[in-house]
Chain A
């Protein structure tokens, strides 16, 4: 293929009035304050109308797919956090489930519920960011602050579960890092009450706001046929009226047991995308509440056999001195980031497959089998080894279908990991949506695309 850039021609023609008119090339980005994301758009303008728009991406390319071939299967987890950094937990879940499909293992029911809960919380944070940022770019700064406030409440929930706010690395192949904290439903209820209040306030501020609707309605329109042809999925597609949702159409985890609606729009413009996202947040909260109600109960933290809790650091000291009896049967209390990963929790959060999931800390420190098991999984040259094969696993990301295509040749690291980033398809249609619109419409359209550089450029 030739890699010569498109000729950027300036055409001049003489208007009937005798005045010369010519198109103007406007270079927007790569770093522009009205665009959240590093991207360059070279727009050819006729007055204020966009005639052509060349979208240039790749400014955040970090070689995710190459790096995923270099490290072991669980080592990819931190990289997946950085794909969509607004909803990292969905990326975690998608990648883990792809590798689990290759291995042919399933995770316990409680773990599946945990994954659904964290995915849906992430979806809300993602939509809050998208809607908030779009509103801010259209001048509604208050809404942005409100929504970031709500996102903060939800990130506190994420922090309670994972120990981190953004770079969570919560899932593991074959399970999750730790169980939900005790009485998680309580803070969840509070955070959702706050979020609902924020959504109501934002709805009052935006939905019937003349300035907002004038700029959102009728701009960035795409038809359902075009959207499907471009491979657009998620809220963006649903705003056009097509009701494709991976959670409904190829359900994974426990989504088929949960009752929720898939909101769809009619016109496929920015306003519909805003409304679909607002409703999806309500539905996500509904899903989390159902999942918290329905999920099988987890174990109590203290091991019922002995009822003893031992701080992990103390246990290491005892183990070093060979005093096995002092902690055998006890339950390790690890630091806040490892909470919920003790032996008592293991059966409910991790698959019953020793060749995939790390043993509980009590076993790794306390007996030779556990120690060997630990090293068989973490030592260089060992680790999880799926059989030869290729699998594709899609999950519903916040922006649409997030797919992982993994090829294994039996080694401890993946042979090929391919991500199908949802906003890649939407960005490829950006030119189509911008053409014919005014230059000011670029801001709401680009905002509703919810471009996430991390997953777009990988």
Chain B
């Protein structure tokens, strides 16, 4: 199925759950409400036209400092955009990280994280990305461990690095860092040079 077909299929099934969708550089993306994430995930896995049997990747992005970098855009100042390649479809530009709040009509500051799921189907050989926006004080989303066993470790990593809670996760421990580690290092407010106190050996 092509990109627009996949987006159409998910949007038609979940009219309320889908907040936005776009195709940027040939990557189909559907932005879904947190409440509908599990149902959408189960749908894309079980629907024969989509049959996303692979959860290729699960990660998160902290959008709290998006576009607030210290330097002006070189491409913007030179007045020319990089010429698009003929091989990479770009019929639909990226709507930016504000795409969720625009649809909601809410303050862009309201949400901070997105959890990003990348799916792949071996039967149809197509890929789909699901994005779930989350607010800072309620960064919780349902686990998809019951659908893909690989989600177990991926969700543990998202918790470890971003502090996103996966409700109903069977083994909610840190994975790459140790249990005594304070904070979540891939959050934008975690300083890159921060030191953590040494902990003694555990016995």
Contacts and interface: CB of A to CB of B under 8 A. Distances in A.
Given A103-B82, A105-B82, A410 B76 contact: yes
Contacts of A427: 153
Nearest to A428: B153
A140 interface: no
Contact of B150 (A376, A412, A425): A425
A376 B174 CA distance: 42
Interface stretch (B4-12, B55-63, B104-112): B55-63
A356 interface: yes
Given A5-B173, A387-B81, A390-B27, A66 B192 contact: yes
Contacts of B90: 104
A231 interface: yes
Contact of A391 (B24, B83, B93, B169): B24
A382 B71 CA distance: 8
A392 interface: yes
Interface stretch (B13-21, B32-40, B122-130): B122-130
Interface of chain B, helix or strand or loop or mixed? loop
Given A1-B172, A66-B186, A409-B69, A105 B85 contact: yes
Nearest to B157: A424
A376 B74 contact: yes
Interface stretch (A11-19, A198-206, A222-230): A222-230
Contacts of B55: 231
B153 A388 contact: no
A437 interface: no
A134 to B, nearest CB: 23
Interface in A27-63: 57-58, 61, 63
Contact of B66 (A67, A101, A409): A409
Given A3-B179, A105-B83, 19 more contacts: A1-B172, A2-B172, A102-B25, A105-B82, A229-B53, A250-B127, A376-B74, A389-B94, A390-B94, A392-B27, A392-B57, A403-B57, A409-B66, A410-B75, A411-B73, A418-B57, A420-B57, A425-B153, A429-B150
Interface of A: 1-6, 57-58, 61, 63, 65-67, 70, 101-106, 226, 228-233, 242, 244, 249-250, 353, 355-356, 376, 381-383, 385-392, 394, 401, 403, 405, 407, 409-413, 415-416, 418, 420, 424-425, 427-429, 432, 457-458
9 contacts: A6-B171, A57-B175, A61-B176, A104-B84, A104-B90, A230-B150, A383-B74, A385-B73, A407-B61
